[in-house]
Amino acid sequence: MSTFNVPKREEVSSTNQALFDNLEKAVGFVPNLYATYAYSENALQNYLALSGAKTSLKAKEKEVVNLAVSQVNECSYCLAAHTAIGKMNGFTDEQILELRAGKASFDAKLNALAALSKNITENRGATDAAIVESFFNAGWTKENLVDTIVLVGDKTISNYLHKTTDVPVDFPEVRIAL
């Protein structure tokens, strides 16, 4: 049972209230995990800046990373959220399950990205050289590698926040086990 309640708008600072208002306009609601960042005066703003920062990865490619990392870290919240976002980006249920497993038989380039994301996360950054070589051989660049590592860190932060706070999942739930 979580010892963390999801803070309501009136329970957070004026800075975070403005961020809640922006999220409400952009997403239609304030996701529970984002609201949890608002326990800190700065964390929500910092996290939104990181997750919304420019990257060489397209939205669909970011979801490949998000799904693989969240599966390795067994984060029920992020798996639910990124399953929904993955579908919005055109992935099928079957493709999402593959991506969660660190594979993409339907696309060689995404397969290399999924494998890299999974390997970085499993090995806490001590990535297998053959995986990195496969990534480059699939057409990815050094810029893409760096941006992928930043995204792995971004998603790991949210995975850890949810696993520590266990706030309720407010996306359609998915099973962690594949």
Token pair of 47, please?
Answer: 């996290």
* Helix spans in the chain (H): 14-27, 32-37, 43-51, 59-72, 76-88, 93-100, 108-122, 129-137, 142-165
CA atoms within 13 A on the CB side of 175: 5
- pLDDT, tens only, 63-74: 999 999 999 999
Contact 86, 63 (CB under 8 A): yes
Give the CATH H-level superfamily of domain 59-165.
AhpD-like (1.20.1290.10)
d(C-alpha 41, C-alpha 16), whole Å: 7
**Number of other residues whose CB lies within 10 A of the CB of residue 31:** 19
Q: Where are the domains of the chain?
A: 9-51, 59-165
Tens digits of pLDDT across the chain (178 residues)? 567 999 999 999 999 999 999 999 999 999 999 999 999 999 999 999 999 999 999 999 999 999 999 999 999 999 999 999 999 999 999 999 999 999 999 999 999 999 999 999 999 999 999 999 999 999 999 999 999 999 999 999 999 999 999 999 999 999 999 8
pTM of the predicted structure, to 2 decimals: 0.96
